[in-house]
């Protein structure tokens, strides 16, 4: 732990320009903002890099992408970052009422120790890896109210005052017949976040929910939508902002879905998990607590050509104490040697969780 | 050591291990979501700019800004010209300085104009210097959108304009120096050009044809990258087939069947359509090998031969 | 057999008939169509120069490569392209007039056509293209009865810019003796050939061109890949096997209504493409054709016996004795290896029937060995 500590603090000290605790210095001159989910930040090597586009492929059957969106948006608001939110609903602003509230540092610690006692060794591996870093994060900013990444209580709505404090743009994508208006709104929002040499003064977040959903006026204008994403990407690349776009790949043609995926810097997908599946329950530890799966397809490669190779690409989404979101590597349940068939199945499952895709 | 033996596997497959100069040809890099082929592009940038000081590179950027390439190439470039130890150390030294300074600065002015000069010079061998020396012409086309009016004319007009810029640049550099043989035009993402042209791939193909007439006339190379998986679900003729017909060398980056691993990042298949005669008999035209991408270069190795 | 298609192109068109047209067809599985095109182009060129061909000149419509490429190609074969026998219509340098458009915007480089080259600046206008071809051709051979050949190096390039219908119209007008564009007589085209990449177009485009032409040469890989679709690059072994060679199929529509099918193998070498004949090929195709015949071509055993018993009037001299007639052709038929299976069958059963004394064949085997000199050739269908 000492080693981790020293390397970490050196990193901090060598980044004089990043004084803002809501930012984290990455390698190759990138700066991360938090996704709002501590585990996801860890998986992605720090968070979402500024100037990148994150795409989340939705599951047609489950709303897990909303969890990612909510935490991402809340985290931004906690950090006093301007927010741009677009959704295909008629009243996008109503969604802000569902944003989760951060768990305070004190509560969080209680939660951590609680859970450790409660869950025992099963999750210990995960915490061993970065618990120290966590701890340190909290220590570093003890005097400061802000943390790089908060835990959020999904049951508790965000305080009203946070919603009024910051600039929040809400756009409904349902009505407009074309994307010109939307594009203009985006570019006005991003104009305040333009990059310059003075470092990062202000960081913005863009969240676009279910872009190109069938109810959008332009859902059949596939080339226009692509062109929009491309221009958004080029605007983001020159701004201090991150955009997260969720989209339903099943309603796009396969070829266009691939084009979307190529445009993403970071590409994630969420999957529902079958309910009361006895086979799965046998295979995976903690099946009862899982609410879905997260798959990491692509990790942003900004200013570098080296791909990020993750130890695992499929993670289970769990609700800890029914309120805070955690991601865990799929753990294979110990298998009794007597049942040959299930052994073979679990073997293939663990193999795919390492490298390939896990299709359910 | 690494680099002399391993980089050559790709160069060998290209067939330019014996020539210092790149013979006129068209290279097509195909990749997919799982495995990016951009590193081959970076390798070729480095190659084009390191050719005994005479190569000229015209880069049409649709996917990534100048700062991205600049940073990657800076890390790649420091491998060049390190013959004597002292030189190499010098380079490494300046490189690490640069790296740290660069590490702190994370806001880059976007290179948005042709021949725009950044006011900071990091080291002797990087893209900024090359751009100052008129060896690199970086066309930032991230915001290229051909007007999407109803008339077909507009899309064409946008591409004609871009081609005009390229032609002008090529003409100027061909006149001023005797670098005629080494002009290279690179386009980092054809699929994005299709998006810019609002899906009119026919116009993009016209554009490529015109670029091809330029490079073939001057004995240069045309290097393009496209994503193969975009078209794989489409039945019938696709634009990438046209590109494959034009290409002399097709480089295909794919993941391994077993997925990505920390020591093997994927496999490359290089199909060289030209006939390479080696020791009097035509040589293998198809190569397949694994690769591992690193910051300062790429390791290539045949399956199983990795140490 | 690759020579035989060159021979047909060399011999050219008959008075008042369509000029022979060759379509070379390839795909990415065996993408050597351009090598075949160059082979045919060089063969025809040397024929034109030697004065052996009907055509006295050649118009090359260049989509795929620059005119200088072809001039260099000819030079490498020791042919000087500066003579007044070749004209190149350059559809390569500025096919849709972009360079021309940029001239007005301060571009300095003006296209300077090389000798014997005309630049086409709008390939979408096929009417104009047609006149340009005629004009170039007449420039070579003059107005009158002297003919010239037309080579289109990439019909696919033409199809990308113009509709299939108009391309078919252009080819048809070039081949036919009367132009439908105007009453200008275009009776000067001796032969025409071109290359098409079949997988770049809908199947219809390829079939239209095959329909339009009198010869189709298609290039195929030696072995078909398992899935036959794109994504074959995974199959390295298969690729390697086909990397420099392939099968060359020719279907030659003869004037008498028959189709001659030939198959060869080719190897691509640095010097060019080489053809080697393959033994099997013809037989397979014939067998596949035969069962399709609906009516009975063979005699049953009884019919055969009955037939053998018949004594034809001129085969006896009234004395009731059989007459032995020496059949000079018998040795010929035995040595024949291209006999069609029907007559083969007949020969064998007759020998088995026991009687076997009369070996007289009526004028049934008038198909001669050398079918190149077909007696029915003047029969125009």
- Please write the tens of the pLDDT for every residue from C154-209: 999 999 999 999 999 999 888 875 544 444 555 788 999 999 999 999 999 999 99
Residue C210 sits in the same domain as residue C314: no
pLDDT of B81 higher than 90: no
Residue C361 CB contacts under 8 Å (≥ 6 apart), including other chains: C327, C329, C333
Could you tell me if C27 lies within 8 Å of chain B, comparing CB atoms? no
Could you say which DSSP state residue A28 is in? G
Of residues C319 and A265, which shows the higher confidence score? A265
State the Cα–Cα distance between residues C187 and B279, nearest whole angstrom.
Answer: 52
Choose among B241, B271, B286: nearest Cβ to C200.
B241
Q: Are A28 and B103 in contact (CB < 8 Å)?
A: yes
pLDDT of A13 higher than 60: no
Q: Do residues B277 and B55 lie in contact, with contact meaning Cβ atoms separated by under 8 Å?
A: no
pLDDT, one tens digit per residue, over B88-132 is 333 333 333 333 333 333 223 332 222 233 333 333 457 888 888
How many CB pairs below 8 A link B and C? 78
At residue B138 the predicted structure's pLDDT band, cuts being 50, 70 and 90, is very high
Of residues A106 and A317, which shows the higher confidence score? A317
Q: Are B230 and A255 in contact (CB < 8 Å)?
A: yes
Residue C334 sits in the same domain as residue C282: no
First to last CA, chain A: 38
Could you tell me if B259 lies within 8 Å of chain A, comparing CB atoms? yes
Mutate to test the interface with B, among A13, A15, A29 (most CBs of B within 10 A): A29
Could you tell me if C162 lies within 8 Å of chain B, comparing CB atoms? no
Q: Which of A306, A320, A314, A331 is nearest to A271 (CA)?
A: A314
User: What pLDDT is recorded for position A352?
Assistant: 35
Give one DSSP letter per residue of C370-381, joined into a string: -TTS-GGGG---
The answer for B 149-188 residues in CB contact with A (under 8 A) is none
Residue C150 sits in the same domain as residue C186: yes
Could you say which DSSP state residue A304 is in? -
Our CA angle for B58, B63, B65, nearest 5°, is 70
Q: Do residues A104 and A67 lie in contact, with contact meaning Cβ atoms separated by under 8 Å?
A: no
Contacts of B164 in chain C (CB under 8 A): 98, 102, 105, 107
In a domain, A1, yes or no: no
The CATH number assigned to the domain with range B2-301 reads 3.40.50.300
State the Cα–Cα distance between residues B242 and B270, nearest whole angstrom.
Answer: 18
State the Cα–Cα distance between residues B300 and B298, nearest whole angstrom.
Answer: 6
How far is the alpha carbon of B20 from chain A, nearest alpha carbon, in Å? 25
pLDDT of C340 higher than 50: no
Residue C280 sits in the same domain as residue C300: no
First to last CA, chain C: 24
Q: Are B160 and C102 in contact (CB < 8 Å)?
A: yes
Residue C368 CB contacts under 8 Å (≥ 6 apart), including other chains: C375
What's the structural domain count of chain A? 1
Q: Do residues C47 and C10 lie in contact, with contact meaning Cβ atoms separated by under 8 Å?
A: yes
User: What pLDDT is recorded for position C363?
Assistant: 54
Could you say which DSSP state residue C27 is in? B
Place of tokens 């990308």: C160
The answer for B 106-135 residues in CB contact with C (under 8 A) is none
Q: Is the dihedral of CA B190, B196, B199, B204 positive or negative?
A: negative
Mutate to test the interface with B, among C30, C243, C268 (most CBs of B within 10 A): C243
Could you tell me if C163 lies within 8 Å of chain B, comparing CB atoms? no
| A227-249: average pLDDT | 93
User: What pLDDT is recorded for position B282?
Assistant: 57
What's the structural domain count of chain C? 2
| B171-200: average pLDDT | 82
Could you tell me if B65 lies within 8 Å of chain A, comparing CB atoms? yes
Place of tokens 């489409």: B234
Q: Which of B200, B206, B211 is nearest to B139 (CA)?
A: B211
At residue C145 the predicted structure's pLDDT band, cuts being 50, 70 and 90, is confident
How far is the alpha carbon of A298 from chain B, nearest alpha carbon, in Å? 7
pLDDT of A115 higher than 70: no
Choose among B160, B205, B275: nearest Cβ to C270.
B275
The answer for B 274-293 residues in CB contact with A (under 8 A) is 293
User: What pLDDT is recorded for position C294?
Assistant: 56
In a domain, A15, yes or no: no
Q: Do chains B and A touch (3 or more CB pairs under 8 A)?
A: yes
Supply the pTM of this predicted model: 0.78
Can you read off the two tokens belonging to residue A121? 């060794």
Q: Are B213 and C66 in contact (CB < 8 Å)?
A: yes
CA nearest to C238 within chain B: B286
Taking CA atoms, C163 is separated from A117, A275, C158, C196, in Å, by: 75, 56, 9, 15
In a domain, A264, yes or no: yes
In a domain, A6, yes or no: no
Q: Which of B207, B215, B210, B187 is nearest to B60 (CA)?
A: B187
In a domain, A5, yes or no: no
Residue A42 belongs to what H/E stretch? helix A38-43
CATH number for the domain that contains residue A201 = 3.40.50.300
Q: Is the dihedral of CA A234, A239, A242, A245 positive or negative?
A: negative
First to last CA, chain B: 14
Q: Which domain holds residue C344?
A: 295-381
How far is the alpha carbon of B22 from chain A, nearest alpha carbon, in Å? 24
Could you say which DSSP state residue A211 is in? T
Q: Which of C267, C254, C222, C264 is nearest to C381 (CA)?
A: C254
Rg (CA), chain B: 19
Strands of chain A (E only): list them. 23-25, 31-33, 48-49, 53-57, 83-87, 100-102, 152-157, 168-172, 204-208, 241-247, 266-272, 290-298, 314-320, 324-329
Residue C65 sits in the same domain as residue C18: yes
In a domain, A330, yes or no: yes
Where in chain B are the domains? 2-301
Q: Are A29 and B148 in contact (CB < 8 Å)?
A: no
Q: Are B258 and A231 in contact (CB < 8 Å)?
A: no
Contacts of C268 in chain B (CB under 8 A): 275
Taking CA atoms, B119 is separated from A119, B128, B284, in Å, by: 56, 9, 48
Mean pLDDT, chain C, integer? 76
Choose among A50, A231, A237: nearest Cβ to B65.
A237
CA nearest to A29 within chain B: B103
Most confident of B234-238, B289-293, C105-109, C364-368: B289-293
In a domain, A157, yes or no: yes
pLDDT, one tens digit per residue, over B29-43 is 999 999 999 999 998
Choose among C28, C102, C269: nearest Cβ to B164.
C102
Place of tokens 């051909």: B146
pLDDT of C152 higher than 60: yes
Residue C252 sits in the same domain as residue C336: no
Taking CA atoms, A293 is separated from A265, A287, A316, A318, A330, in Å, by: 20, 11, 4, 9, 9
Mean pLDDT, chain A, integer? 77
Q: What SS3 state is found at A47?
A: coil
State the Cα–Cα distance between residues C349 and C105, nearest whole angstrom.
Answer: 84
How far is the alpha carbon of B93 from chain C, nearest alpha carbon, in Å? 43
Comparing A70-84, A277-291, B234-248, C48-62, the range with the smallest average pLDDT is A277-291
**Partners of chain B (3+ Cβ pairs below 8 A):** A, C
Mean pLDDT, chain B, integer? 74
Residue B29 belongs to what H/E stretch? strand B25-31
Residue C171 sits in the same domain as residue C34: yes
Q: Do chains A and C touch (3 or more CB pairs under 8 A)?
A: no
User: What pLDDT is recorded for position A198?
Assistant: 63
Q: Are B237 and C102 in contact (CB < 8 Å)?
A: no
Of residues A190 and B83, which shows the higher confidence score? A190
- In our burial notation (b when 16+ CB lie closer than 10 A, e otherwise), range B240-279 reads bbbbbbebbbbbbbbbbeebbeeebbbbbbbbbbeebeee
Taking CA atoms, A103 is separated from A66, A124, A147, A157, A323, in Å, by: 19, 21, 11, 11, 10
pLDDT of B56 higher than 90: no
pLDDT, one tens digit per residue, over A288-325 is 888 899 999 999 999 999 988 888 889 999 888 878 88
pLDDT, one tens digit per residue, over C63-118 is 999 998 998 898 888 887 667 888 999 999 999 989 888 887 665 556 666 667 88
Place of tokens 């499952």: A349
Could you tell me if B145 lies within 8 Å of chain A, comparing CB atoms? yes
Rounded to the nearest 10 degrees, how much is the dihedral formed by the CA atoms of A288, A290, A292, A293?
-120
Residue B106 CA, chain-centre distance (Å), reads: 24
In a domain, A20, yes or no: no
pLDDT, one tens digit per residue, over B255-301 is 987 776 778 899 998 888 876 665 555 555 788 888 999 888 888 88
Could you say which DSSP state residue A96 is in? G
pLDDT of A1 higher than 60: no
Rg (CA), chain A: 20
Backbone angles phi and psi of B104, in degrees to 5: -85, -30
Residue C300 sits in the same domain as residue C189: no
Give me the interface pTM, i.e. the ipTM: 0.80
Angle separating helix axes A222-237 and A180-191, nearest 10 degrees: 10
Residue C338 sits in the same domain as residue C213: no
How far is the alpha carbon of B199 from chain A, nearest alpha carbon, in Å? 6
Q: Which of A226, A196, A234 is nearest to B141 (CA)?
A: A234
The answer for B 273-292 residues in CB contact with C (under 8 A) is 273, 275, 277, 282, 284-286, 288
Q: Are C106 and B168 in contact (CB < 8 Å)?
A: yes
Q: Are B217 and C66 in contact (CB < 8 Å)?
A: yes
Q: Do chains C and B touch (3 or more CB pairs under 8 A)?
A: yes
Of residues A221 and C40, which shows the higher confidence score? C40
Could you tell me if C92 lies within 8 Å of chain B, comparing CB atoms? yes
User: What pLDDT is recorded for position B65?
Assistant: 92
User: What pLDDT is recorded for position A334?
Assistant: 59
How far is the alpha carbon of A241 from chain B, nearest alpha carbon, in Å? 12
Q: Are B191 and A259 in contact (CB < 8 Å)?
A: yes
Q: Which of A93, A104, A103 is nearest to A164 (CA)?
A: A93
Q: Which domain holds residue A238?
A: 33-354
pLDDT, one tens digit per residue, over C213-261 is 999 999 988 766 544 444 444 456 666 666 778 889 999 988 888 888 8
């Amino acid at each position: 732990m000492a080693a981790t500590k020293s390397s970490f603090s050196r990193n901090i000290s060598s980044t004089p320009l990043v004084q803002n605790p809501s930012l984290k210095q990455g390698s190759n001159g990138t700066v991360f903002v938090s996704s709002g989910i501590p585990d996801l930040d860890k998986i992605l090597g720090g968070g979402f890099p500024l100037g990148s586009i994150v795409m989340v492929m939705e599951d047609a059957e489950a709303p897990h992408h909303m969890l990612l969106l909510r935490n991402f948006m809340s985290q931004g608001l906690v950090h006093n970052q301007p927010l741009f939110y677009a959704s295909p609903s008629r009243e996008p602003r109503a969604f802000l009422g569902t944003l989760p509230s951060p768990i305070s540092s004190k509560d969080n610690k209680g939660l951590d120790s609680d859970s450790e006692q409660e869950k025992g060794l099963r999750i210990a591996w995960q915490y061993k890896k970065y618990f120290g870093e966590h701890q340190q994060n909290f220590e570093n900013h003890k005097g400061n109210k802000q943390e790089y990444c908060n835990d959020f209580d999904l049951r508790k709505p965000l305080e009203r005052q946070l919603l009024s404090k910051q600039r929040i743009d809400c756009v409904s994508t349902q009505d407009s017949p074309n994307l010109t208006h939307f594009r203009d709104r985006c570019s006005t929002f991003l104009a305040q976040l333009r990059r310059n040499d003075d470092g990062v003064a202000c960081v913005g977040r863009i969240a676009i929910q279910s872009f190109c959903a069938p109810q959008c006026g332009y859902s059949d204008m596939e080339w226009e939508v692509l062109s929009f994403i491309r221009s958004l990407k080029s605007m983001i690349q020159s701004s201090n902002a991150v955009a997260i776009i969720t989209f339903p790949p099943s309603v796009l043609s396969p070829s266009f879905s691939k084009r979307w995926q190529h445009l993403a810097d970071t590409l994630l997908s969420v999957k529902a998990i079958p309910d009361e599946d006895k086979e799965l329950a046998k295979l995976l530890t903690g099946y009862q607590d899982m609410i879905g799966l997260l798959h990491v397809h692509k990790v942003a490669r900004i200013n570098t050509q080296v791909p990020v190779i993750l130890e695992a690409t499929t993670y289970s989404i769990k609700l800890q104490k029914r309120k805070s979101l955690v991601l865990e590597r799929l753990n294979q349940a110990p298998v009794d040697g007597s049942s040959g068939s299930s052994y073979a199945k679990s073997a293939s499952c663990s193999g795919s969780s390492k490298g390939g895709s896990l299709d359910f | 050591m690494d680099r002399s033996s391993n980089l050559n596997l790709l160069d060998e497959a290209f067939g330019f291990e014996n020539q210092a100069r790149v013979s006129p040809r068209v290279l097509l890099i195909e990749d997919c979501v799982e495995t990016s082929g951009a590193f081959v592009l970076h390798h070729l940038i480095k190659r084009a700019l390191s050719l005994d000081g005479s190569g000229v590179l015209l880069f049409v950027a649709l996917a990534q800004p100048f700062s991205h390439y600049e940073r990657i190439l800076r890390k790649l470039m420091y491998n060049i010209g390190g013959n004597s130890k002292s030189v190499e150390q010098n380079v490494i030294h300046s490189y690490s300085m640069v790296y740290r300074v660069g590490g702190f600065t994370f806001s880059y002015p976007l290179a948005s104009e042709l021949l725009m000069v950044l006011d900071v010079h990091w080291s002797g061998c990087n893209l900024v210097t090359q751009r100052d020396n008129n060896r690199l012409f970086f066309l930032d086309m991230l915001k290229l959108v051909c007007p999407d009016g109803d008339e077909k004319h507009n899309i064409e007009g946008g591409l004609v304009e871009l081609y005009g810029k390229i032609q002008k640049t090529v003409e100027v550099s061909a006149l001023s120096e005797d670098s005629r043989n080494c002009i290279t035009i690179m386009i980092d993402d054809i699929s994005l050009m299709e998006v810019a042209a609002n899906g009119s791939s026919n116009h993009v193909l016209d554009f490529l044809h015109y670029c091809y007439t330029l490079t073939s006339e001057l004995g240069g190379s045309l290097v393009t990258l496209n994503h193969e998986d975009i078209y794989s679900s489409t039945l019938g003729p696709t634009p990438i087939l046209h590109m494959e017909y034009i290409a002399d060398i097709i480089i295909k980056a794919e993941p391994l069947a077993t997925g990505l691993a920390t020591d093997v990042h994927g496999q490359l298949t290089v199909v060289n359509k030209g006939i390479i005669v080696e020791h009097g008999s035509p040589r293998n035209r198809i190569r397949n090998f694994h690769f591992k991408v690193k910051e300062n270069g790429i390791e290539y190795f045949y399956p199983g031969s990795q140490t | 057999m690759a020579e035989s298609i060159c021979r047909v192109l060399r011999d050219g068109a008959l008075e008042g008939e369509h000029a022979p047209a060759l379509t070379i067809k390839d795909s990415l599985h065996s993408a050597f169509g351009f090598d075949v095109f160059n082979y045919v182009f060089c063969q025809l060129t040397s024929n034109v120069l030697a004065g052996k061909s009907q055509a006295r000149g050649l118009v090359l419509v260049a989509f795929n490569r620059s005119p200088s490429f072809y001039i260099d190609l000819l030079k490498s074969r020791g042919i000087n392209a500066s003579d007044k026998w070749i004209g190149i219509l350059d559809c390569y340098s500025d096919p849709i007039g972009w360079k021309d458009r940029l001239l007005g915007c301060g571009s300095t480089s003006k296209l300077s056509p090389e000798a014997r080259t005309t630049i086409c600046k709008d390939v979408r206008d096929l009417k104009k293209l047609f006149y340009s071809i005629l004009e170039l051709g007449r420039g070579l051979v003059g107005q009158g009865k002297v003919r010239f050949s037309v080579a289109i190096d990439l019909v696919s390039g033409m199809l990308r810019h113009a509709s299939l219908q108009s391309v078919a119209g252009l080819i048809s007008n070039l081949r036919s003796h009367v132009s439908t564009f105007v009453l200008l007589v275009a009776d000067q085209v001796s032969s025409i050939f071109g290359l098409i990449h079949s997988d770049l177009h809908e199947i219809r485009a390829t079939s239209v061109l095959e329909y339009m032409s009198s010869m189709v040469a298609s290039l195929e890989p030696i072995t078909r890949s398992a899935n036959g679709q794109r994504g074959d690059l995974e199959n390295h072994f298969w690729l390697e096997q086909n990397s420099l060679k392939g099968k060359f199929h020719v279907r030659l529509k003869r004037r008498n209504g028959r189709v001659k099918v030939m198959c060869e193998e080719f190897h691509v070498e640095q010097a060019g493409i080489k053809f080697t004949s393959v033994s099997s090929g013809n037989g397979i195709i014939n067998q596949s054709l035969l069962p399709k015949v609906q009516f009975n071509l063979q005699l049953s055993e009884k019919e055969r016996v009955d037939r053998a018993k018949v004594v034809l009037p001129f085969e006896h001299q009234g004395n009731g004795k059989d007459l032995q007639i020496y059949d000079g052709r018998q040795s010929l038929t035995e040595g024949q290896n291209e006999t069609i299976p029907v007559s083969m069958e007949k020969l064998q059963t007759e020998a088995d029937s026991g009687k076997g004394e009369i070996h007289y064949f009526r004028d049934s085997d008038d198909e001669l060995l050398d079918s190149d000199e077909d007696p029915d050739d003047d029969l125009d269908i």
